[in-house]
Amino acid sequence: MIMRSRFDEQLSLLNKKMIEMGAECENVINLSVNALLRGDAGQAKMVEAQGQTIDRLEREIESICLKLLLQQQPVAKDLRIISAALKMITDMERIGDQAEDIADIISHLDGRTGGESRDIPLMAHAAAKMVTDSIDAYVKHDVQLAKALYDYDDVIDNAFRRVKSALISMIAENTADGEYALELLMIAKYFERIGDHAVNIAEWVEFSVTGVHKGD
């Protein structure tokens, strides 16, 4: 009973750290899109610090998961929860990396804000919600909430197609804006990838409850 009590305490700490890492991912997504909308290279530089926090949390969560695996032979449900966490933090770490890539592009836009595309902020906000709700679903063991997130991926994919079409038209109308349009397209592509990582997270949440991984 004492061993199980310690095990449950570590599981509770794992949930706390997962929530913290999910919140940092949401912050870094919002920070990067706000830097774009304001044309603020200074704010874009702040994304790197957030990314370092995400990296630190990844290491902390890995350590907690290893302790959980070594402390006691986990039952099947516990093992799924721990395994899912290890998979999820990989995607969350990559979200941080891609937000940093977006920030790097913003720092070279000379203050331009991407105002030509309202769909890029839409993509960012949908991705941020997916990450937040995925972690919420993980902690609550809520399969229905995890499944509901797949609709947001459709929102992101449809928005990306509109961005791509609009930027192709921009280049056709004014070739001088070609490089700028390509930079915006790369930003949109990174937000699309963030959405893909959020889908992966949701799939691992589903696995943590059901034992079935949608990607298999």
Residues found in the chain: 216
Q: Which of 49, 71, 87, 52 is nearest to 201 (CA)?
A: 87
pLDDT-above-90 percentage for the chain: 60
Q: What is the pLDDT of residue 185?
A: 94
Q: Compute the average pLDDT of residues 144-156.
A: 90
CA dist 151 → 20, 160, 184, 202, 206 (Å): 24, 14, 24, 11, 15
Q: What is the pTM of this model?
A: 0.91
From the number of C-beta atoms within 10 Å of its C-beta (0-12, 13-18, 19+), residue 184 rates as buried
**C-beta of residue 57 within 8 angstroms of C-beta of residue 20:** yes
pLDDT digits (tens, 9 = 90+) for 49-83: 899 999 999 999 999 999 898 876 778 889 999 99
Q: Compute the average pLDDT of residues 8-20.
A: 92
Largest CA distance in the chain: 71
Name the band, by pLDDT with cuts 50, 70 and 90, for residue 175: confident
DSSP 52: H
Between CA 126 and CA 68 the distance in angstroms is 33
**Angle (CA) 34 58 123, round 5°:** 30
Return the higher-pLDDT residue of 2 and 58: 58
- Which domains, from first to last, does the chain contain? 2-210 (1.20.58.220)
Place of tokens 């706390």: 16
Q: Cβ atoms within 10 A of the Cβ of 43, count?
A: 18
Between CA 133 and CA 149 the distance in angstroms is 8
Q: Compute the average pLDDT of residues 167-194.
A: 91
Q: Is 13 left (phi over 0), alpha (psi -120 to 50) or beta?
A: alpha
Name the band, by pLDDT with cuts 50, 70 and 90, for residue 216: low
**C-beta of residue 131 within 8 angstroms of C-beta of residue 26:** yes
Q: Which tokens in the block code for residue 119?
A: 């769909």
Q: What is the pLDDT of residue 187?
A: 95
pLDDT digits (tens, 9 = 90+) for 84-141: 999 999 999 999 999 999 999 998 898 888 877 889 999 999 989 988 998 999 999 9
